[in-house]
Amino acid sequence: MAKKGLEGKVALVTGASKGIGRAIAMRLARDGAAVVVNYSSSAEQAQKAVADIQTAGGRAVAVRADVGRVGEVIKLFDATFSNFGRLDVLVNNAALPLYKPLVEISEAEYDRLFDVNVKGTFFACQQAAKRMADGGRIINVSSSTTVMMLATYSAYVASKGAVEQITRSLAKELGPRRITVNTISPGGTDTELFGLNKTAEDKKRFAQMAAFGRIAQPQDIADVVSLLASDDAHWITGQNLRANGGVI
């Protein structure tokens, strides 16, 4: 049997109890990685993801941490190393949505959004820079909405734009250690998060924007993450891969 692409490696996926994060965790496990399934509040769903990985013959553990708090990010990395002894792939997927007119957004909402979407990514990258094995992979999840000029998305796209810039700078910083740092920017994807406050007509409109005439399934995004996590992607760094089915 051929060796799996990530066999012997360890992946940490934030926000991995459901949606895109869960699909990424499942795919990286299928590729051979031991996976840390991070969650903040969905303990039952995280344990189900771990059980599904283990049933398929993989290794996984669920670790609760609110990535919007730096102390918990550090504990998440501590748990990764205590369980598996190393880290080769970090996927910063955890994020909060906020789709409201700018004049209605409170300071508390803004702060919480940036705590999870930006601070969480920044300090997870910091821990990876300190602890990740040379030749590792950091994959930050942004959104194609950063270039789509959508009303009510101002705070959300501001947070995701910051993620994209962190990626660009860090790619240069970690290049001497052969650690690649890339962004993946999904378009509309059939998840609970995407469906928040959207009507069937809203979803249909997003589907019609894609070249393939549909919104993505989480597995579509996980497949692209698998590519970036692989050895074959060793010459791709500092890039924003818009995995959106040709929306833009």
For 141, the 3-state DSSP assignment is: strand
Q: Of these residues, 39, 99, 153, 156, which one is catalytic? A: 156
Contact criterion met (CB below 8 Å) for 185 and 245? no
- Quote the CA–CA distance of 159 and 189 in Å, as a whole number: 19
The neighbouring-strand residues paired with 90 are 12, 138
Radius of gyration, alpha carbons of the chain: 17
Q: What is the dihedral of CA 167, 246, 27, 23, to 10 degrees?
A: 90
- Quote the CA–CA distance of 234 and 62 in Å, as a whole number: 28
Phi-psi region of 90 (alpha: psi -120 to 50; beta: other; left: phi over 0): beta
Contact criterion met (CB below 8 Å) for 94 and 120? yes
**Is residue 153 annotated as part of the catalytic site, yes or no?**
no
Q: Greatest CA separation found in the chain?
A: 58
- Quote the CA–CA distance of 90 and 21 in Å, as a whole number: 12
- Quote the CA–CA distance of 88 and 111 in Å, as a whole number: 30
Q: Give the residue numbers marked as catalytic.
A: 156
